[in-house]
Amino acid sequence: MLLYLKPSLTGNEPADVLEYAAQHKTFPHETTADQFFDESQFESYRRLGQHVVEEVFGQAAAQPAEGLGPVFDRLRSDWNA
């Protein structure tokens, strides 16, 4: 199984991420040609990534499991429900 998470905005992100997005219209798809992100840009991408992972893996990862197999089984079950 390959899981690909693409950053996107759904409206339930933390306020600081939404504020950055309001000021930067291409966020979260800004060019990476300039690898020197300023602090607010770096933190906005980091926090958005954290939010996406918590939303996707929240319930499935909250339960104890040995290895990733059971976590992905739970994800598959949750997404196909």
* pLDDT, tens only, 54-66: 888 877 667 776 7
Q: How much is the pLDDT for 64?
A: 72
Q: How much is the pLDDT for 81?
A: 60
- Half-sphere exposure of residue 72, counting CA atoms within 13 Å on the CB side? 7
Give me the average pLDDT of each 10-residue run along the chain (81 residues).
83 96 95 88 95 82 75 79 60
Q: 59, 74 in Cβ contact below 8 A? A: yes
The reported pTM is 0.77
